[in-house]
């Protein structure tokens, strides 16, 4: 029961972070550069890979896909923990996969992001780790 609660909590935290990130991406200016010149340059610049997009459009797309990945990860583990906990209990690999996935986000947050996602992802990762150690 505690392992199930921890998995639900960990997934809920990651899902919330992913959802807020998606909302920030499309409905706020929170991910815009503070320097308007940077945004202008990103809107006019193209990656070496292709001229069919701009760095700005790629930036928005990367943020959106990142959000959707976190939301999907969370949704899968919420569904598993709520509806199929017996499957998770019988297959510790699936729970350890959540630890690895959340831990990967944690390493990215530590290296590249800022404090709020780092704290949230650390909490989520700790929840998954606690559940994995119990099962």
Nearest residue to 62 via CA among 23, 27, 122, 22? 22
Q: What is the mean pLDDT of residues 102-117?
A: 95
pLDDT at 45: 96
Mean pLDDT of the chain: 96
Question: What Å distances lie between residue 31 and 22, 23, 90, CA to CA?
Answer: 11, 11, 41
**Residue 54: strand, helix, or coil:** coil
Q: By percentage, how much of the chain surpasses pLDDT 70? A: 100
pLDDT at 90: 96
Domain boundaries, the chain: 2-25+61-134
pLDDT at 47: 94
Separation of alpha carbons 134 and 3, rounded Å: 6
pLDDT at 126: 98
Q: What is the mean pLDDT of residues 67-79?
A: 98
């Amino acid at each position: 029961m505690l392992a199930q609660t921890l998995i639900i909590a960990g997934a809920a935290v990651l899902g919330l972070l992913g959802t807020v990130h998606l909302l920030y991406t499309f409905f706020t200016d929170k991910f815009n550069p503070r320097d308007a010149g940077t945004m202008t340059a990103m809107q006019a610049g193209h990656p070496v890979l292709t001229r069919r997009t701009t760095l700005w459009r790629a930036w928005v797309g990367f943020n959106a896909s990142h959000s959707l990945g976190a939301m999907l990860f969370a949704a899968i583990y919420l569904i598993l923990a709520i509806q199929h906990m017996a499957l998770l209990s019988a297959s510790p690999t699936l729970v350890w996969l959540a630890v690895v996935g959340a831990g990967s986000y944690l390493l990215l947050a530590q290296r590249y992001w800022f404090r709020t996602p780092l704290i949230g992802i650390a909490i989520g990762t700790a929840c998954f780790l606690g559940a994995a150690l119990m099962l």
